[in-house]
Structure 1
């Protein structure tokens, strides 16, 4: 796909952004709408990916920043950064499904790494990815992340994270030195 990444602007999310953030995250990962992009988890999980309460709570945590990527005032992508000692945790990464595959995600990830390094002097970025998402893990590996082999269980029974469609889900930790 040809890159169609317009001039992006980045800003921290505010409470008024919560409904749009929830809609963006849900559209990128769940339901039929998510199948337009390649980051869908619709074959692995049903139910919600997040909710307004969880997103609003993340905006109030110290050492946590939710970044919005916009073009011409339109929300295109988001991510969460959380300071964890000398590392920054990267999560809630979402790109509008119809905008995936054109370089927007790469630009957001690169900006998030820059923010983590400049704001917190983070030495590395860490994240967890559903282990069955080999295509997504490979995308991160191409961007300098490494598989650590560290796994953590999927929170079965906590439907606020989704309803698993299979019994073997787990998270794998990835890291990248900054």
Structure 2
């Protein structure tokens, strides 16, 4: 893909991740969601999950999976954000979205969402974007709703007992499906 973004986010480069990016991407994702460093931004899950968010094996699996892309965003040669796009027939799945905590709150997330939606529509002809969000993340869900996503009420269980996804600090975690038309 390797395209330079224009308009509202000068200096950004969007490209597909490579195997060589795995360590930097794991560090980025962990910093955005887990531990004290994640508290710098607003997307932290540190109060509901401890442990890891992902690992090198998980990131490499996304990079290598057929029909999957790990869109990597650089500013001044440094990876500052990423998101997974996966082709699933008439829709695309959006996941593994992370913005460096120091970069949060300045509109970068909106730019990345728009680029991900454009990419899914133009590359795969996706009619909708789907994502799952931990249902107790009301602030995050509200942010997605302001970008046109709607709650479906369709829930899937959190993988309790599988520490690859973190160590839950509450017993009421589940994922809710959010959907947005990409017309």
- The two structures have a TM-score, normalised by structure 2, of 0.94
Q: Is the Cα–Cα contact under 8 Å of residues 5 and 102 in structure 1 kept in the other structure? A: no
Q: Deviations over 1:77-100 (max 9, x none)?
A: 000000011000000000000110
Q: Deviations over 1:12-63 (max 9, x none)?
A: 0000000000000000000000000000000000000000001111111100
SS of the aligned residue for 1:140 comes to helix
Matched, 1:154 2:158: yes
1:69 pairs, out of 73, 86, 92, with: 73
Report how many residues are paired: 175
Question: Aligned with 1:50: secondary structure?
Answer: coil
> Tell me, which stretches of 5 or more residues in structure 1 are unaligned?
none
Name which of 30, 38, 42 aligns with 2:42. Answer: 38
The Cα shift of 1:157 comes to 0.2
Structure 1 stretches of at least 4 aligned residues deviating more than 6 Å after TM superposition: none
Question: Is 1:8 the counterpart of 2:5 in the alignment?
Answer: no
Counterpart position of 1:137: 141
TM-score, normalising length from structure 1? 0.97
Q: Structure 1 residue 5: deviation in Å?
A: 4.7
For residues 64 and 100 of structure 2, the distance between their equivalents in structure 1, rounded to whole angstroms, comes to: 24
Q: More displaced, 119-128 or 66-75?
A: 66-75
Q: CA deviation at 1:8?
A: 1.1
Looking at structure 2, the residues matched to 156 and 43 of structure 1 have their Cα atoms a distance apart, in angstroms, of 16
Give the Cα separation in 2 of the matches to 1:5 and 1:157.
Answer: 40
* Distance in structure 2 (CA, Å) of the matches to 1:107 and 1:158: 33
Residue in structure 2 matching 1:174, options 150, 156, 178 = 178
**CA–CA separation in structure 2 for the residues paired with 1:108 and 1:153:** 28
Q: Does residue 19 of structure 2 align to residue 19 of structure 1?
A: no
Q: Which of 121, 131, 137 is equivalent to 1:127?
A: 131
Measure the CA separation in 1 of the matches of 2:10 and 2:82: 15
Shift of 1:121: 0.3
What is the alpha-carbon distance in structure 2 between the residues aligned to residue 60 and residue 116 of structure 1?
17
SS in 1 for 2:115: helix
Gaps of 5+ in 2: 1-7
